[in-house]
Chain A
Amino acid sequence: MRHIISILLENEAGALSRVAGLFSARGYNIETLTVAPTEDASLSRMTIVTVGSDDVIEQITKHLNRLIEVVKVVDLSEGSHIERELMLVKVRATGKEREEMKRMAEIFRGRVIDVTDKTYTIELTGDVAKLDAFIEAIDRALILETVRTGVSGIGRGERVLKV
């Protein structure tokens, strides 16, 4: 099953490679990984999307906790949570496709953030399914380039991951 694991870890050189190394050494799967410092610059917040059986996920969280630089680990998918991903898509936008592309972006609540006479760059935020749906909805042949940040997640309501 798909799980979203949130990690607070010391913002130190090498901490990321410890986490990434753990996944590759033990044969765990990483679908996406995002990391950036938090409001407390000494801490980084990492979100990893992974797939595995309950036993594997249990081992993943235990092994993450074992890393010296990891402060806290939470499996967000154990409770209600929100996940978001940012995607930038550069598309060919000429002729009648130009108006159509803008309309599609609006339907998906995306924004055109860069324009040339032949291209649009569209910014789109949402969960994975929404971003996938947008890719499906537009003509594949018009896509010049896509870049996705990977998933960030946060618990709903009072659910807080903090030191």
Chain B
Amino acid sequence: MSANEELTGAEIVVRCLQEENVEHVFGYPGGAVLYIYDALFNQDRVKHILVRHEQGAVHAADAYSRSSDRIGVCLVTSGPGVTNAVTGIATAYLDSIPMVILTGQVPTHAIGLDAFQECDTVGITRPIVKHNFLVKDVRELAATIRKAFYIARTGRPGPVLVDIPKDVTAKKAVFQYPAEVPMRSYNPVLKGHTGQIKKAVQMILSARRPMIYTGGGVILSDSSRELNELVDMLGFPCTNTLMGLGAYKASDRKFVGMPGMHGTYEANLAMQNCDVLVAIGARFDDRVIGNPADFAKHQRQIIHIDIDPSSISKRVKVDVPIVGDVKEVMIEVIRQIRATDVRPDPRALADWWKQIEEWRSRDCLKYDRSSEKIKPQYVVEKLWEATGGDAFITSDVGQHQMWAAQFYRFDKPRRWINSGGLGTMGVGLPYAMGVQMAHPQATVACITGEASIQMCLQELSTCKQYRLPVKVLNLNNGYLGMVRQWQQIEYGSRYSESYIEALPDFVKLAESYGHIGMQITRPADVEGAIREALSRKDRTVFMDFLTDPAENVWPMVQAGKGLTQMLLGSEEL
């Protein structure tokens, strides 16, 4: 192709994706994107995954990003294509997931005229994207897509949307993909302030009851190695939030479990009673710190490392804020600690560990192992054993999500894929698809519930079309379990609309899609079923576990309560 050959806008879109080394696009065609689909048809470098609902496309692209170092891309049509995608975009935004969403729009001359399948895409998505663009001139298309990828992956990552009117995809322009897109208004700070880092290191080294608390930022910046190094050299206790699980190896004694509403007793007490709290890529979410006033009552010094200044001192006042990429900052912290002989007082640290071990001995995650009903925790434990702790696990939202987070012990980052911020039911199955596309050889399991799975159930058809051998573990207790649990504890056991009647026969349902369906009703059959399912390496397997409908997630910090006001089990109700 000569340097000045003109391409259509649709061809430019596809060429941009090729330039970004995009291998997979998740999407659904429609009127406004037909030129783009035509351009996709005429090449084979970018593979398109046809989902069954736009929401599934966005979730799959989101998980593709979460589980790998690549950026998930999705393509949907105008109007309902966009509105169906909104939940997926918001889900990615709340967890700062880099993603590029390409949307079709009605032709420029029809914008604003209430045209067929028109909606104000940029307006609707503005509060749930890192940035969005409407491209009205085909000559700006390539540079805009380049910017979209750049903005999505740099700084605090996030979804970026490019809205492309149909006539722009038909018009022609010379294709040139800019190597760089300088933006005077966008220059994320990466390196932390040296003076602040020095202060933080002094504080860390003089700590007597230290605690390292990390979140999704450590995963997003690929700094799990640095975190492990830092925690191991200091011998400090470490907790990872729901978004940060796997950043520090859960099999190590220094890992005290997840903090927060359903965090461990030892993690929450250590959060409250430490004298130096080192927060890394975490944002003091309301589900993590409980009541902020109660959290602030406990005297401690707080170091907060985050790439986003607006996350600092948003909910909790901190003593040493450090704005920067957590990877860069941790490298510098480690370097400064190496450069000095000063170490935290070993006796104080030993006393602190003694205290933590005492808290740990409460065994807050214990559950009834002699029950004749299948305990959901047991299913997760058996999955962990059978996969050697090395699978990619996606979940939906609710009780099963918490059990997965508590009982599948993640030693590696990017293995635990769930919707933490928005808490979107329905993500589990499309997440598993996205992960499987990014890691075709890996074991991918979706831990879900009978309510969540029905929110994106149609994607079983996509699994069939692309032969995605995901393993679905449906922890079927017949209830919207987390809603039922809150109703039991806070609403006098009035189970308003939380019982799911008229469930499908999940085995037949799976079979009707050409998958393997299993129903497991006895604890003794759990392990065998999981191993059998995992052995079917080329098939989608749907395991319907009929679990104890009365089981609750413990510990629990009720909304509005302080972190130490934990309920440890039903006997406390």
Can you identify 9 A-B contacts, CB atoms within 8 angstroms?
A: A13-B134, A14-B126, A14-B134, A21-B126, A25-B127, A66-B308, A68-B130, A68-B183, A163-B184
Could you say which residues of chain B place their CB within 8 Å of the CB of A70? 185
**Chain A 83-102 per-residue mask, 1 if CB under 8 angstroms from chain B, else 0:** 00000000000000000000
Q: Is A69's CB within 8 Å of the partner chain B?
A: yes
Could you say which residues of chain B place their CB within 8 Å of the CB of A25? 127
B185 touches A71 (CB 8 A): yes
B127 contacts which of A13, A21, A58, A71 (Cβ < 8 Å)?
A: A21
* Interface residue ranges, A against B (CB under 8 Å): 9-10, 13-14, 17-18, 21, 25, 55, 58-59, 62-63, 65-66, 68-71, 163
Could you say which residues of chain A place their CB within 8 Å of the CB of B440? none
**Chain B 297-331 per-residue mask, 1 if CB under 8 angstroms from chain A, else 0:** 00000000000111001100000000000000000
Q: How far is it, in angstroms, between the C-alpha of A44 and the C-alpha of B313 when the chains are bound?
A: 30
Q: Is B254's CB within 8 Å of the partner chain A?
A: no
Those of B105-157 within 8 Å (CB) of chain A = 122-123, 126-127, 130-131, 134, 151
How close is A132's CB to chain B, nearest CB, in angstroms? 34
Could you say which residues of chain B place their CB within 8 Å of the CB of A58? 313
Could you say which residues of chain A place their CB within 8 Å of the CB of B185? 9-10, 68-71
Could you say which residues of chain B place their CB within 8 Å of the CB of A65? 309-310
Q: How far is it, in angstroms, between the C-alpha of A10 and the C-alpha of B309 when the chains are bound?
A: 21
Those of B262-314 within 8 Å (CB) of chain A = 308-310, 313-314
Q: How far is it, in angstroms, between the C-alpha of A146 and the C-alpha of B127 when the chains are bound?
A: 34
How close is B152's CB to chain A, nearest CB, in angstroms? 11
Could you say which residues of chain B place their CB within 8 Å of the CB of A10? 185
Q: How far is it, in angstroms, between the C-alpha of A63 and the C-alpha of B313 when the chains are bound?
A: 13
Q: How far is it, in angstroms, between the C-alpha of A58 and the C-alpha of B312 when the chains are bound?
A: 10
Kindly name the residue among B130, B310, B314 whose own CB sees the greatest number of chain A CB atoms within 10 A.
Answer: B310
Q: Given A68-B131, A68-B186, A70-B185, A55 and B313 touching (CB < 8 A)?
A: yes
Q: Given A10-B185, A71-B185, A163-B184, A66 and B310 touching (CB < 8 A)?
A: yes
B126 touches A63 (CB 8 A): no
Pick the 5 closest A-B CB pairs, nearest first. Answer: A62-B310, A71-B185, A68-B131, A62-B309, A25-B127
A63 touches B127 (CB 8 A): no
How close is B335's CB to chain A, nearest CB, in angstroms? 28
Q: How far is it, in angstroms, between the C-alpha of A58 and the C-alpha of B309 when the chains are bound?
A: 10
Q: How far is it, in angstroms, between the C-alpha of A63 and the C-alpha of B308 when the chains are bound?
A: 9
B308 touches A18 (CB 8 A): no
Q: How far is it, in angstroms, between the C-alpha of A65 and the C-alpha of B65 when the chains are bound?
A: 26
Residue of A nearest to B317 (CB): A55
Interface class of chain A by DSSP: helix
Q: Given A68-B151, A69-B185, A71-B184, A17 and B313 touching (CB < 8 A)?
A: no
Residue of A nearest to B131 (CB): A68
Could you say which residues of chain A place their CB within 8 Å of the CB of B309? 62, 65-66
Could you say which residues of chain A place their CB within 8 Å of the CB of B183? 68
How close is B43's CB to chain A, nearest CB, in angstroms? 31
How close is A57's CB to chain B, nearest CB, in angstroms? 12
How close is B155's CB to chain A, nearest CB, in angstroms? 9
Q: How far is it, in angstroms, between the C-alpha of A14 and the C-alpha of B151 when the chains are bound?
A: 17
Q: How far is it, in angstroms, between the C-alpha of A18 and the C-alpha of B125 when the chains are bound?
A: 11
How close is B142's CB to chain A, nearest CB, in angstroms? 18
B122 contacts which of A14, A68, A69 (Cβ < 8 Å)?
A: A14
Could you say which residues of chain A place their CB within 8 Å of the CB of B127? 21, 25
Could you say which residues of chain A place their CB within 8 Å of the CB of B151? 68
Q: How far is it, in angstroms, between the C-alpha of A70 and the C-alpha of B131 when the chains are bound?
A: 12
Q: How far is it, in angstroms, between the C-alpha of A163 and the C-alpha of B183 when the chains are bound?
A: 12
Residue of B nearest to A42 (CB): B184
Residue of A nearest to B130 (CB): A68
How close is A10's CB to chain B, nearest CB, in angstroms? 6
Q: How far is it, in angstroms, between the C-alpha of A111 and the C-alpha of B112 when the chains are bound?
A: 42
How close is B455's CB to chain A, nearest CB, in angstroms? 26
Could you say which residues of chain B place their CB within 8 Å of the CB of A13? 134
Could you say which residues of chain B place their CB within 8 Å of the CB of A17? 123, 126
How close is B436's CB to chain A, nearest CB, in angstroms? 33
Residue of A nearest to B187 (CB): A71
Residue of A nearest to B185 (CB): A71
**Chain B 183-199 per-residue mask, 1 if CB under 8 angstroms from chain A, else 0:** 11110000000000000
Q: How far is it, in angstroms, between the C-alpha of A25 and the C-alpha of B129 when the chains are bound?
A: 13
B310 contacts which of A59, A68, A71, A163 (Cβ < 8 Å)?
A: A59
Q: How far is it, in angstroms, between the C-alpha of A58 and the C-alpha of B310 when the chains are bound?
A: 8
Could you say which residues of chain A place their CB within 8 Å of the CB of B313? 55, 58
Could you say which residues of chain A place their CB within 8 Å of the CB of B310? 59, 62-63, 65-66
Residue of A nearest to B311 (CB): A62
Could you say which residues of chain B place their CB within 8 Å of the CB of A69? 185
Q: How far is it, in angstroms, between the C-alpha of A55 and the C-alpha of B185 when the chains are bound?
A: 24
Q: How far is it, in angstroms, between the C-alpha of A41 and the C-alpha of B264 when the chains are bound?
A: 56
Could you say which residues of chain A place their CB within 8 Å of the CB of B126? 14, 17-18, 21
Q: How far is it, in angstroms, between the C-alpha of A131 and the C-alpha of B309 when the chains are bound?
A: 38
How close is A152's CB to chain B, nearest CB, in angstroms? 21
Could you say which residues of chain B place their CB within 8 Å of the CB of A21? 126-127
Residue of A nearest to B133 (CB): A14
Could you say which residues of chain A place their CB within 8 Å of the CB of B308? 66
Could you say which residues of chain B place their CB within 8 Å of the CB of A68? 130-131, 151, 183, 185-186
Could you say which residues of chain B place their CB within 8 Å of the CB of A55? 313
